Amino acid sequence: MGTEPGEDQHLFHLALRADWEAALVAGDYRVSTLGRTLAQEGFLHASYRSQVDGVRTAFYADVTEPLVLLEIDPELLDVPVVVEVPDGADEAFPHLYGPLRIDAVVAVHPVG
């Protein structure tokens, strides 16, 4: 199929590069979505590969700061992942109910 084993099961999170760099210093990532923290939202927004472009168009189209796409291996997480349909959405998205461990991020892709 052209994907690495398990790659289709990975989760993704769009992040400001500055937020990711701060997480590398802090030891974990706690930004739920653009301008909202884990503490404010209660979970971290994530998506499946097929949902990334739609999320970027819907929520990050006007962002001028550098973005990265965090690729997360859910098997390396130590927090619950719940697949839910957010208010106003017509499809389910994975939500991480806790901070994202740095070592669960298996790749960081620049977004151009």
| pLDDT over 80 (residue 2) | no
**Which of these ranges, 2-6, 36-40, 100-104, has the smallest mean pLDDT?**
2-6
What residues make up the domain containing 65?
Answer: 7-111
| Tokens read off for 78 | 């130590």
Element (H, E) at 94: strand 93-96
State residue 45's pLDDT score: 95
pLDDT tens digits, 63-80: 999 999 999 999 999 999
Element (H, E) at 44: strand 44-45
Residue 2 lies inside a defined structural domain of this protein: no
State residue 5's pLDDT score: 43
Residue 11 lies inside a defined structural domain of this protein: yes
**What's the pTM value of the predicted model, to 2 decimals?**
0.90
Residue 1 lies inside a defined structural domain of this protein: no
Residue 44 lies inside a defined structural domain of this protein: yes
Q: How many domains does the chain have?
A: 1
Which has the higher per-residue pLDDT, 112 or 13?
A: 13
